Amino acid sequence: MSLALQRPGFAARHAATLRQLRFYAWSFGRSPSSMLGLAIVLLFLALAAFGPWIVPYPGDGSGAMNLSNRLKAPSAAHWFGTDEMGNDLFSRVVLATRTSLWVGLTIVGVATLIGVPLGIAAGYFGGWVRMVIMRVTDIFLSVPGLVLALAIVAALGPGILNGVIALSLVWWPGYVRLVEAKALALRSEPFVEAARAVGAGHGRILALHILPNCTSPIIVKASMDMGLAILSAASLGFVGLGAKPPAPEWGAMISVARTYMPNWWWYAVFPGFAIYLTVLGFNLFGDGLRDILDPRSSRG
């Protein structure tokens, strides 16, 4: 004879999680700036995904030549005007979202892959492991990423790939700092000590207790860094060490456009505005995420 307990439905089993998620959605939606950020990020992703099918002149992305059309002011046919090669700037600005997306994802991805394990190791194991990792991190943090990236690009040679490599190599220390502090605090939490007391191994503790509790700040930082990484890559493009024209990249476009100022103002204005909007979107979005996921640390 058995008393078969009826298995509760999905909503009942995950009531706490669902309630938490509803709370997150409620607080996120309450902030207009967070919602604006979300909207911009979604627009950015949509343009990156469907850009080639949306833009009026998809061929202009890789740089066509249409000299009869060069440096035309914005019009119905060319919303953002045309550049010195006669390419449609609207098409190029939209197509460049794809470049920015992979640039941002690569830099942030590599940075988390290097930084998070190092940070966890430093915070959890402590002792000399922590000493060595944190000292090296501090050294990297003492020079702004852009300058260090400039130095690396100077050595590797200009180009978007080298720019991304350079930025990826200098971006990780922030994650070490972030995760180290968190892991250090978690190490002496009662539930971690309890796990250790019942004989759980390091691997198990790290995977089940430390890492999951570090994810919120990592997600927040990663979403903010998406914007900043895109901005940095564009900066390298602007000073002439990143992407090279005619590759569609916002920073490089502005770099060329600078020589056409002030008469052909639209050439620089629209790509720059695209950078601004993208970085703004990711920052607002990350800010909103932080407010709900990690409200104790809303620091600059």
Partner 1 sequence: MTSLLEITGYRLAFDGFEGRAQVLDGIELTVQAGETVGIVGETGCGKSVLARSIARLVEMPPGRVLGGAIRFEGQDVFAMDRRALARLRGHGVAMIFQDPMTYLNPVFSIGTQMEDVIRAHDRAEGRRMRPRAAAHARAAELLAAVRLPEPDRLLDRYPHELSGGMRQRVLIAMALTGDPRLLVADEPTTALDVTIQAQVLRLIAELVETRGLTLLLISHDLGVIGALCRRVVVMYAGTVVEDAPAEALYVRPRHPYTRGLLAAVPDLARPDHRAQPIPGHIPNLLDPPSGCRFHPRCPMAIARCAVEKPLLREVDGHRVACHRAEEAA
Partner 2 sequence: MRAEVLRFVLKRVALTGLMLFGLVCITFTVSNVAPSDPAALAAGPDATRDMIETIRREYGLDRPLAEQFWRYVTGVLQGDLGRSIVTTRPVAEDLGRFFPATLELVLLSMTLGILVGVPAGMLSAMLKNRAPDHATRFLAVSLVALPAFWFGILLQLLFSVQLEWLPTSGRLEVSTAPPPTFTGMLLLDSLLAGQWATFGDALAHAVLPALVLSFPCLASILRVNRAEMIEVLASDYVTAARAHGVSPFRVVCVHALRNAMLPTLAIIGLRWGWMLGSTVLVETVFDWPGIGLYAVSSAIAGDFKPVMGVTLLIGLNFMIASLVVDLLYGVLDPRLRTAS
- The residues that touch partner 2, with contacts defined as CB under 8 A, are 32-33, 135-136, 138-140, 142-148, 150-158, 227-228, 231, 234-235, 238-241, 251, 254, 258, 261-262, 265, 268-269, 271-273, 275-277, 279-280, 283-284, 287, 298-300
State both tokens at 24: 């997150």
Question: Could you tell me if 145 and 231 are in contact, meaning their C-beta atoms sit under 8 angstroms apart?
Answer: no
Cβ density class 206-238: b for 16+ within 10 Å, e for less: beebbbebbebbbbbbbbbbbbbbbbbbbbbbb
CB of 30 to partner 1, least distance (A): 9
CB of 256 to partner 2, least distance (A): 12
Which CB sits closer to partner 1, 226 or 292? 292
By residue count, the chain amounts to 300
273 lies in the site for partner 1, by CB under 8 A: no
26 lies in the site for partner 1, by CB under 8 A: yes
The binder of 23, among partner 1, partner 2, none, by C-beta within 5 to 8 A per type, is partner 1
Which CB sits closer to partner 1, 27 or 216? 27
The pairs formed by 23-31 with CB atoms below 8 angstroms and a separation of 24 or more are 23/292, 24/292, 24/293, 27/291, 27/292, 28/288, 28/289, 28/291, 28/292, 31/288, 31/291
Q: Which stretch binds partner 1 (CB under 8 A): 19-27, 198-206, 218-226, 232-240?
A: 19-27
Q: Which stretch binds partner 1 (CB under 8 A): 22-30, 88-96, 102-110, 183-191?
A: 22-30
Q: What are the phi and psi torsion angles at 198 (to 5°)?
A: -90, 10
Which CB sits closer to partner 1, 228 or 292? 292
27 lies in the site for partner 1, by CB under 8 A: yes
In this structure, what DSSP letter does residue 88 have?
Answer: B
